[in-house]
Amino acid sequence: MTNSEIAERFGTIVSLLQMKGEKSFTVRAYQRAGRTIERFPRDMDAMVAEGEDLTEIPGVGKAISDKIAELVTTGKMSYLERLESEFPDGVLDLVDIPGLGPKTIVRLWKELDVTSVDALEAAVEDGRVASLPRMGKKSAENIGRAIQFAKSKSDRFPMARAMDISRRLTAYLRDNCSGISDLVVCGSMRRFEETVGDLDLVCVTSDPAGAMDAMAGMDGVAEVLGHGEKKTSVVLDSGIQIDLRVCEPQHLGAMLQYFTGNLHHNVRLREIAAGLGLSLNEYGLKDVETGTLETYATEEALYRRLGLQYVPPELRQGAGEVEFARNNDIPRLVELSDIKGDLHTHTDWSDGRDTMEEMILEARARGLEYIAVTDHSVGRGIANGLSVERLESHGKRLKELESDIGGIRILRGTEMDIRADGSLDYSDEVLDELDWVVASVHSAMGQDSATMTERIIKAMRNPRVFAIGHLSTRLIGERPPVDADYDAIFRAAADTGTALEINGSLGRLDLKDTHISRARELGAALVINTDAHTTEGLGNMEYGVSLARRGWCEPSDILNCMGADEFISWLGKKRN
Ligand code: DGT
Ligand code: CA
Ligand code: CA
Ligand code: ZN
């Protein structure tokens, strides 16, 4: 069981306790525990197995430690089951609807006798929800939208979940199969889609049987669908399917190409092959007349043979990229090594886990030339946002650390709330003291499109706002994007010189790929940030870069590809 799966159970406990109207300190204890578990760098599962004392983790007391132990050893938590038994089954389903708070759920249940998602949908449609006291038409509409969102959620896995599973799986296979020389996760994961249906792995190994057995015998396999000499398919407890294929080294290029897809891209390639009298399959290119097979150890060689420039996996969407490759027009996309700074990070001054020192040292170790420390602003009470006084000490401390630590430039920053009316959480005088300001929406996300658009553009008109953080505020699979006129926002960004953030946090991936392309087209500047709340979170840069690549970004499109001196002089220009 992964830490996020454990944290999810604690999230359910929190919702149920709130529905029961439990005291807020009890609720907060579980809330805090959930956050700690989610972000904890080591597997709780393994710690329990090794008999470690979980109560040494801050925020985890005896009661919570016992519940974690029970959950990872038995797969159940009797406390949670008892709580669940206090509510009708259908009411529990309502908890999964994004934005529907516990108080509202209880009212819907008690006052309208709504005990299922379908019943709620009906009550929204016939106006009963809107007619509840203190509810109104707007809130009812938002609930309606949230139901649609929840229903459209398929059984696909959000990238964050799939990445976590994929990393464990590849580590396991490498540790347990000494013969493996290449192991590549292909399919939608390699293309870096937002959601993933299943995982397609290809490996080259001197011991195929060993790899097949290791896959079928892995802990956490719920069902073995097939166990052959060259392919093993399993379903894990989490419900995700894994296909592992063994491949010979001379076929690797064709194999990776075939299983990376997507289907449309592959169809286009097969057409091109056909034009050359060849047929493309997972083993290579076959001469249609003679039947001889040409094999390719690398994808590059295969694309070259087809008269094409190499197409990076992130662009293989069957959306015209093959034509670009034919004309040699695929640009040199941004790479992780191009990124010189991180401009959105949190520390334990607000809701981050780690200290400024830890975050800065990690950033330096990752080779960054600069980092902006952007803890939350005062309005984010629940995230321990900084009062003006604390912000001042925050900045002073960062200045001290810049000279103490050395080797990395430190920007005194903030991630400042854009309030519901578009006003900002700090005054201009306060902002003038900062080196870098990201402004983000964290509240009133259900506003109508015109209000939201105006709100964000109003923030951008303040020249002290350098960038807008996670513009759509979506959480993949959990919260829909805000309703807004994105084109108008991108134009205003270009107009005002405000950068738009590509947020690499896997739960967000915000801007999404099509918005990145569109923003670039309309002339907006972009930055790629991690939104890290822990030192490991600084690793999100890799994901932000993959996302930017899906939006066809080159280094020149991304502000934080500038070196420190150049970037800091850009800041001066932007401010004036
Ligand atoms: P997913 O798993 O739904 O997130 O999306 P993919 O793209 O990973 O799709 P999947 O797992 O069905 O197949 C992986 C790749 O294998 C796919 O992108 C292209 C290739 N592929 C699958 N089935 C076929 C097929 O019938 N013909 C050809 N040419 N390629 C296929
Ligand atoms: Ca797949
Ligand atoms: Ca598959
Ligand atoms: Zn934020």
Rounded to an integer, what distance in angstroms lies between the CA atom of residue 103 and that of residue 112? 13
Structure token pair of residue 157: 């896995």
Q: Is the CB of 158 under 6 A from ligand 1?
A: no
Q: Which amino acid is at 480?
A: P
CA 348 to CA 354: how far, in whole Å?
5
Q: Are 485 and 453 in contact (CB under 8 A)?
A: yes
Say if ligand 1 is within 6 A of residue 355 CB: no
- What's the residue count for the chain? 576
CB atoms within 10 A of CB 33: 24
> Residue 71 C-alpha to ligand 2 middle, in angstroms?
30
- CA-nearest residue for atom 2, ligand 1, is 197
Task: Report whether 266 contacts 258 (CB < 8 A).
Answer: yes
CB contact set of 393 (below 8 Å; sequence gap of 6+)? none
pLDDT score, position 154: 65
pLDDT, residue 64, reads: 93
**Coil, strand or helix: which one is 87?**
coil
CA 529 to chain centre: 12
The backbone torsions φ and ψ at residue 268, rounded to the nearest 5 degrees and listed phi first, read -60, -40
Instruction: State the pLDDT at residue 153.
Output: 67
Q: Is the CB of 469 under 6 A from ligand 1?
A: no
The answer to whether the beta carbons of residues 300 and 320 sit under 8 Å apart is no
Task: Find the 389 Cα to ligand 2 centroid distance in Å.
Answer: 51
Instruction: Kindly provide the residue ranges of all beta strands, DSSP E only, lying in 388-445, ordered along the sequence.
Output: 409-417, 436-440
What distance in angstroms lies between residue 349's CA and the mean position of ligand 2's atoms?
Answer: 40
Q: How far is the CA of 451 from the centre of ligand 2 (A)?
A: 39
CB 522 within 8 A of CB 490: yes
Is the Cβ atom of 503 under 6 angstroms away from ligand 1? no
Structure tokens at 9: 């159970």
Q: What is the dihedral of CA 110, 113, 116, 119, to 10 degrees?
A: -140
Paired tokens of 472: 């759509």
pLDDT at 97: 85
Is the shortest distance between the CB of 262 and ligand 1 below 6 Å? yes
Pairing, β 195-196 against β 157-158: antiparallel
Nearest atom of ligand 1 to the alpha carbon of 263: 19
Alpha carbon distance 479, 97 (integer Å): 9
How many A from CA of 197 to the centre of ligand 1? 10
Q: List pLDDT tens digits, range 234-263.
A: 999 889 999 999 999 999 999 999 999 999
Handedness of CA 253, 256, 259, 262 (dihedral sign): negative
Residue 116 DSSP label = S
The number of the ligand nearest the C-alpha atom of 188 reads 1
Residues 214 and 202: their CA atoms lie apart, in Å, by: 14
Q: What gap in Å lies between CA 342 and CA 506, rounded to an integer?
A: 16
What ligand 1 atom has the least distance to the C-alpha of 267?
A: 29
The reported pLDDT for the residue numbered 278 is 98
Residue nearest atom 20 in ligand 1 by C-alpha distance:
259
Q: Which ligand is nearest to the CA of 199?
A: 2
Give the nearest ligand 1 atom to 262 CA: 18
Ligand nearest to the CA of 440: 4
Q: What is the DSSP letter of 508?
A: T
List of E strands, 187-251: 195-196, 198-205, 221-227, 231-236, 241-246
Separation between Cα atoms, residue 335 and residue 561, nearest integer Å: 9
pLDDT, tens digit only, all 576 positions of the chain: 888 889 989 999 999 999 999 888 889 889 889 988 888 888 898 899 999 999 988 888 999 999 999 999 998 999 999 999 999 888 888 988 877 888 899 999 999 999 999 999 999 999 999 999 888 888 898 899 888 877 776 679 999 999 999 999 999 999 999 999 999 999 999 999 999 999 999 999 999 999 999 999 999 999 999 999 999 999 998 899 999 999 999 999 999 999 999 999 999 999 999 999 999 999 999 999 999 999 999 999 999 999 999 999 999 999 999 999 999 999 999 999 999 999 999 999 999 999 999 999 999 999 999 999 999 999 887 788 999 999 999 999 999 999 999 999 999 999 999 999 999 999 999 999 999 999 999 999 999 999 999 999 999 999 999 999 999 999 998 889 999 999 999 999 999 999 999 999 999 999 999 999 999 999 999 999 999 999 999 999 999 999 999 999 999 999 999 999 999 999 998 887
Read off the DSSP letter of residue 461: T
Instruction: Provide the pLDDT for residue 179.
Output: 95
Strands 341-342 and 293-294 come out as unpaired
Peptide bond into 262 cis (omega under 30): yes
How many other β-carbons are positioned within 10 Å of the β-carbon of residue 88?
A: 11
CB-based contacts of 45, cutoff 8 Å, min separation 6: 1, 2, 3, 6, 72
| Residue of minimum CA distance from atom 10 in ligand 1 | 187
The two beta strands, 278-281 and 284-287, are antiparallel
**E strand or H helix at 105:** helix 102-112
For residue 271, which ligand has an atom nearest its CA? 1
Tell me if 187 CB under 6 Å of ligand 1. Answer: yes
DSSP characters for 289-321? TT-PEE--SSHHHHHHHTT-----GGG-SSSSH
Contacts of residue 403, Cβ cutoff 8 Å, sequence gap at least 6: none
